[in-house]
Amino acid sequence: MFGPDQAPLVREFLRFGVVGTIGFLVDTAVLYAAIGLAGAGLYAGRALSYLAAATTTWALNRHWTFRHRRGSAHPARQWIAFLVVNLFGFASNYGTYAALVSLSPFCAQHPVIGVAAGAVAGMAWNFSLSRRFVFSPRPGRGS
């Protein structure tokens, strides 16, 4: 199915998936905390939870998934680049979430379903763009 040339890419994608799962847990925990403890609504709470999850996944991807590709970029610059290029994944992620919680009463009562669907929707964008523009081993390419 995959040749030996593709093994590093497959390993990165699997690690990215593990990190994404951790990000999903952070996203969900922060969303429920924002709603329950801070009184945030479904949308503002999700914006906060997404930022927390994105920061978590950036750090884990930097130190584990793409550690051999992270280059010499200053961490703050790389974090900003990660957030910028992942706006495509965010649009897909948040759009899926917003559609589900606004159109489905069940998803509005159980927003974790929308978070999960959004995470899956944004994953391919996030992996491709992060690998290419944030964790590129080439100098001067945001690495």
The per-residue DSSP string of the chain comes to ---GGGHHHHHHHHHHHHHHHHHHHHHHHHHHHHHHTT---HHHHHHHHHHHHHHHHHHHIIIIITTTT-TT--HHHHHHHHHHHTHHHHHHHHHHHHHHHHH-HHHHH-THHHHHHHHHHHHHHHHHHIIIIIS-SSTTS--
What is the reported pLDDT for 141? 45
Written as six digits, the tokens of 39 are 């009184």
Domain locations in the chain as residue ranges: 4-134
Q: What is the value of pTM for the model shown?
A: 0.77
Single-letter code of the amino acid located at 45: G
Using the structure block, give the residue that is written with the tokens 């992620």.
Answer: 93
How far the first Cα of the chain sits from its last, in Å, is 30
Instruction: Answer yes or no: are the C-beta atoms of 135 and 62 closer than 8 Å.
Output: yes
Q: 119 or 57: whose pLDDT is higher?
A: 57
**Weakest-pLDDT range from 19-33, 44-58, 80-94, 129-143:** 129-143
Q: At residue 143, what is the residue type? A: S
Residues 2 and 10 sit within 8 Å (Cβ to Cβ): yes
Looking at residues 31-56, what average pLDDT do you find? 92
- Mean of all residue pLDDT scores within the chain: 88
pLDDT for residue 68: 85
